[in-house]
Chain A
């Protein structure tokens, strides 16, 4: 759990943490993700996995996505971008 006071420095750090969430939620310890990783090119990212990823990222970064955002997010890039906006 990260406290709100902790500043997120670079989007690389964010990406690394998002990757940890992806690994945990998709049960794949060797998974490597990039901003371009999306529901289209990552097979394990199905609709049920999607909500686990959303929930995992919400918990890890202590933020909340809106229902509309949950629907719109399809790529790692969008996750990283929204995390950046929420954490500022």
Chain B
């Protein structure tokens, strides 16, 4: 289908409710909808790409309505087909004290921007508890994926005598407890995540400069309520849609429904609907593990002002002393703050790599250091190809990526070539960039854990390995250069949790897909007929942790390999060959003459169909797709492998001593 190109002209300074990070729409929604393909799935995919522009409220509604009508008349089995094309079905229940039905279609229209086919049910104007009670059975039979409790300052009517702190606290406690109760009832009724809302400031209420510190004033009450609500939300694992934050972004007066509150009990101005629905979808996307995790930065005129190849390091605008330089420094600080939240920073730039790296190493005003960047792709290749290469190197999908570039032409090219990468539009002046990026909220997170902070390290190590492979070219030389050490040990108490996790989660590199509980794994340790090993792999880029386990069961003079699993993180590192070599050595010590392997095919483990053939086993039988393999221990020739094996711990040997 040929579409008119979306406008990529640098956005003038736009207000946050205009979604300034998205390309401006071209044409009218009505006309765009009229010229769509007739096949329903193709239509939805076209609408999904259409939804990437900053449509206004009325046009989002048209879009949503179109989606509803397509889904309604689609053939059965359509949902599964849509899912295969990346469109996930999400069911949302909105419990709103004020009017909400007017946002239904805009919600659906916004949802498809995030690749969601949203099915919304709205309960408005009434107390949520009786509604939930009335619909109890439906909720159980066809549960919602998310429940939004849309509170509103005008409905909540927080009020308490001025200057009375204790009374204010009581009022707030009661209001928060009420929302918590609704959330609990909704959570129990649906068993799904509940989203709570903070309260926007009320521009109609008396508001003096001192009021934030005056117990009982509207401003004090709303502020304290919000603080208490989010505390409670955190404790009870509720999600939060920070409406107060949105209102402060655009201004409470602009956020307010004004006349429309009086006329129709709209909770906020209709012009704010696109911003509200976009934020709600971000929270849902984050909860579903679909938020962005990688920020790829351009260098010249993005990371710093000027072109390092032309201007030289000393000619760059960066840091104190130049207004432009300060703006670029602020961008770097923002990127560093994202890194602290677990976001992976990468660089893609058309430049000479040595010159660019020199700027990183030697420019005194660089906030970001070389070490903060997980992957560099600095060359003269197409940027889309480079972003794809980064995605491959760090093994994260393109839909986790955000690409930041000052050049509208580059932005458009990447957007066209890699539609799943988020490419924010930027105002012309770097001094105006940061609020646009913040308002885009690409890196929304459902929660914060220690692991988030550590994540970058793991991806960094993988990226370094990929870079090493690129540099060296020859695979075996590359493996040698990694300086790998494989530590092999019998099953033990310390490794049990991880072994059990590997056994329950490995699907691809898993020869038999037999699952064992922690207790069964513990029992193997003391079973004389079981020979079971765990293996960790370390290399110059770091510790990969425990990555493989093999369980052999003895029958006479042979071992049958009951289970062989390995983490796909270390595929292609010849770990399996080293493990077999070790097994053969141990078999010899124990008087075992034959090792038997078995492959039981599943939908997921095609990867290891030829595992035993590759290791030199001879096929001895097959039935129902299952294959059985034999290896004569005496016929195995030692191999020279590019990794060092370390098996320090003693084995309790029945027959002889260790080698």
Q: Taking beta carbons and an 8 Å cutoff, which residues of A are in contact with B?
A: 1, 20, 24, 27, 47-48, 51-52, 54-56, 59-60, 67, 70
Contact = CB atoms under 8 A, between A and B. Distances in A.
B271 to A, nearest CB: 9
Contacts, number: 33
Contacts of B57: 59
Q: Which 5 A-B pairs have the closest CB atoms?
A: A51-B264, A70-B263, A51-B263, A59-B58, A55-B270
B270 A24 contact: no
B58 A56 contact: yes
A47 to B, nearest CB: 8
B259 interface: yes
Nearest to B69: A27
B420 interface: no
A27 B65 contact: yes
B264 A48 contact: yes
B61 interface: yes
Chain B interface SS verdict (over half): helix
A18 B55 CA distance: 21
Given A24-B61, A51-B263, 19 more contacts: A24-B58, A24-B62, A27-B65, A47-B264, A48-B102, A51-B102, A51-B264, A51-B266, A52-B102, A54-B263, A55-B102, A55-B260, A55-B270, A59-B58, A60-B58, A67-B262, A67-B263, A70-B259, A70-B263
B99 interface: yes
Contacts of A60: 58
A13 B93 CA distance: 40
Contacts of B260: 51, 55
B32 to A, nearest CB: 14
Contacts of B62: 24
A88 to B, nearest CB: 22
7 contacts: A1-B56, A24-B61, A48-B102, A51-B102, A55-B102, A59-B56, A70-B263
A46 to B, nearest CB: 12
Contacts of B262: 67
Contacts of B61: 24
Contacts of A51: 102, 260, 263-264, 266
A21 to B, nearest CB: 9
B101 A48 contact: yes
A53 to B, nearest CB: 11
Interface in B259-277: 259-260, 262-264, 266, 270
Contacts of B56: 1, 59
A51 B261 CA distance: 11
A26 B159 CA distance: 38
Contacts of A59: 56-58, 270
A59 B29 CA distance: 15
B54 to A, nearest CB: 13
Nearest to B61: A24
A20 B65 CA distance: 15
Contacts of B264: 47-48, 51
A51 B260 CA distance: 8
Nearest to A20: B30
Contacts of B58: 24, 56, 59-60
B102 A67 contact: no
A62 B393 CA distance: 51
Nearest to A21: B58
B642 to A, nearest CB: 65
Contacts of A70: 259, 263
A76 B56 CA distance: 25
A60 B262 CA distance: 21
Contacts of B263: 51, 54, 67, 70
Contacts of A20: 30
Contacts of B65: 24, 27
Interface string B243-263: 000000000000000011011
Interface in B42-64: 56-58, 61-62
Nearest to B265: A51
Contacts of B99: 48
A48 B102 CA distance: 9
B307 to A, nearest CB: 39
A45 B363 CA distance: 67
A48 B262 CA distance: 13
B99 to A, nearest CB: 7
A26 B343 CA distance: 45
A25 B260 CA distance: 16
Nearest to B271: A59
A67 B270 contact: no
Residue among B57, B102, B262, B263 with the highest chain A CB neighbour number at 10 A: B263
A48 B56 CA distance: 21
A24 B264 CA distance: 19
Interface in B87-140: 99, 101-102
Interface in B18-50: 30
A28 to B, nearest CB: 11
Contacts of A54: 263
Contacts of B102: 48, 51-52, 55
Interface string B543-558: 0000000000000000
A65 B58 CA distance: 18
A71 B611 CA distance: 77
A54 B257 CA distance: 14
Contacts of A56: 58
A45 B275 CA distance: 28
Contacts of A55: 102, 260, 270
A27 B259 CA distance: 24
Contact of A67 (B30, B101, B259): B259
A71 to B, nearest CB: 8
Nearest to B262: A67
